[in-house]
Amino acid sequence: MKPVAITGMGCVSALGIGVESTWEALRQGRTGIAPLVGFEESGLKVTTAAQVPGYVPEEHFAPSQLGLLDRHSQFALLAAREALTDAGLDPAQQASLAAVIGTGCGGKETDELTYQKLYKEEKHRVHPFTIPRGMPSAASSQISMDLGIRGPSFTISSACSSTNHAIAQAVLMIRAGLVDAAIAGGTDAPFTYGLLKSWEALRVLSPETCRPFSRDRKGLVLGEGAGMFLLESLDHANRRGAHIHCLIRGIGMSADAAHITDPSSEGAARAMQAALQDAGCQPEEIGYVNAHGTGTQLNDPSETQAIRSVFGSHADRLLVSSTKSMHGHALGAAGALELVATVRSLQERLVPPTANFTEPGEGCDLDYVPNEAVPLDYSFAMSNSFAFGGLNAVVVVQRAG
């Protein structure tokens, strides 16, 4: 199968704006999880979050733009601009790109402000651009307009697997020859009162920090942000002399067809096996797995079991870490932040840690790279995303050169 190159990356996360800010924190094991801000008088039980620090929209967008940009679209645009700048793509070539953007929530900020006006303030009118600002496809539309992209542009939503599904769709389009290149990734901004109350009701949020795979883990910590990638056929990248960050060698997808919130290790394993098969890669060639690793009681042992099922005895030699311990669970953007971490890990030959780790939980018996990054000279990595509804998407990447 022809490989697809990643030639540009952009990122906004709780660890900062820009790929290098995020990677520098990840390699240091420094967490972006902090006390929740902006809801001090709300009576929420949620106390911690991974919010983009010091973010001021007016520093990045004109007032005339902000009326049309939900927070999740703002993050998407910042990351997409960085990815295209990083790729060094000729502006004349941007028109032929595709844009495939994943989101789990879409324009929740816009929804919340609208309902607050209608039901709390008892207003009878809302912003005239409420629909285009908050629609699930808003981010892909805004990226298309901002960057002059005229190729296929659309949104994919599969909860916490949205980014990896978007990456997979873009890869398939490039392989099929429908486009030579695409901007693909994910974005989410879930910090609204209504959404936080809804997550509270699920009883999966940690009251403190996120400790994936640890015995004393207490749940996930919500995050926000975006990650975008310029993907190109390898031939296209080579023809224009592009710098290649890494190669996407395999994609794998599956559905549990089981339970809406209880993950299936068998379903996760099938997605991982499909990605390895698509990559033409043997399990023992994988050096690092960036785990879905939410820090919940159900996910962590289930994912561990799935990894053992796929990798057999090699699982004892794998390095596995959850970077959600640092950038939080950014829902539809989680896979994007994790793919940034995985690509930079390959480039730097350094595996980012699982921060806040204490001691292994029951059923969690792999090497989770506790608290400190580990040097590793390796060529293939895997990034896992598993979503509510049993929607699984996995990506295998290879170091370039």
User: What are the boundaries of each domain within the chain?
Assistant: 4-239, 250-399
The pLDDT of residue 33 = 98
* Catalytic pick among 160, 210, 281, 364: 160
Mean pLDDT, the chain, rounded, equals 96
Report, as an integer, the average pLDDT of 221-243.
Answer: 97
Residue 167 burial by CB count (10 A; 0-12/13-18/19+): exposed, middle or buried? buried
Could you give the 3-state DSSP secondary structure of residue 258? coil
The DSSP letter of residue 242 is: P
The DSSP letter of residue 261 is: S
Q: Count Cβ neighbours within 10 Å for each residue of 290-322 and write b for 16 or more, e otherwise.
A: bbbbbbbeebbbbbbbbbbbbbeebbeebbbbb
Q: Which position has the higher pLDDT, 401 or 33?
A: 33
Residue 289: pLDDT over 70: yes
Tell me the per-residue pLDDT of 178-224, one tens digit each, with 9 for 90 and over. 999 999 999 999 999 999 999 999 999 999 999 999 999 999 999 99
> Which CATH fold would you assign to the domain 250-399?
Peroxisomal Thiolase; Chain A, domain 1 (3.40.47)
Residue 246: pLDDT over 80: yes
Report, as an integer, the average pLDDT of 155-180.
Answer: 98
Report, as an integer, the average pLDDT of 120-142.
Answer: 93
Residue 40 burial by CB count (10 A; 0-12/13-18/19+): exposed, middle or buried? exposed
Tell me the per-residue pLDDT of 252-272, one tens digit each, with 9 for 90 and over. 999 999 999 999 999 999 999
> Which CATH fold would you assign to the domain 4-239?
Peroxisomal Thiolase; Chain A, domain 1 (3.40.47)
The amino acid at residue 28 is: Q
Q: Would you call 329 a catalytic residue per the annotation?
A: yes
Q: Would you call 160 a catalytic residue per the annotation?
A: yes
Residue 131: pLDDT over 90: yes
* Catalytic pick among 165, 236, 245, 292: 292
Residue by residue, DSSP assigns 330-361 as -GGGHHHHHHHHHHHHHHHTEEPPBTT--SBP
pLDDT above 70 covers a percentage of the chain that reads 100
* Catalytic pick among 11, 236, 329, 364: 329
Q: Do domains 4-239 and 250-399 have the same CATH topology?
A: yes
Confidence of residue 1 (pLDDT cuts 50, 70, 90): low
Radius of gyration of the chain measured on its C-alpha atoms? 20
Instruction: Give the bridge partners for 5, in sequence order.
Output: 232, 247
Report, as an integer, the average pLDDT of 30-53.
Answer: 94
Report, as an integer, the average pLDDT of 341-346.
Answer: 98
pTM greater than 0.95 = yes
Residue 29: pLDDT over 80: yes
Residue 74: pLDDT over 70: yes
Which CA distances in Å does 68 have to 113, 116, 249, 280, 379? 13, 18, 37, 44, 43
The pLDDT of residue 42 = 87
Tokens of 342: 């995985």
* pLDDT-wise least confident of 48-57, 114-123, 260-269, 325-334: 114-123
The pLDDT of residue 307 = 98
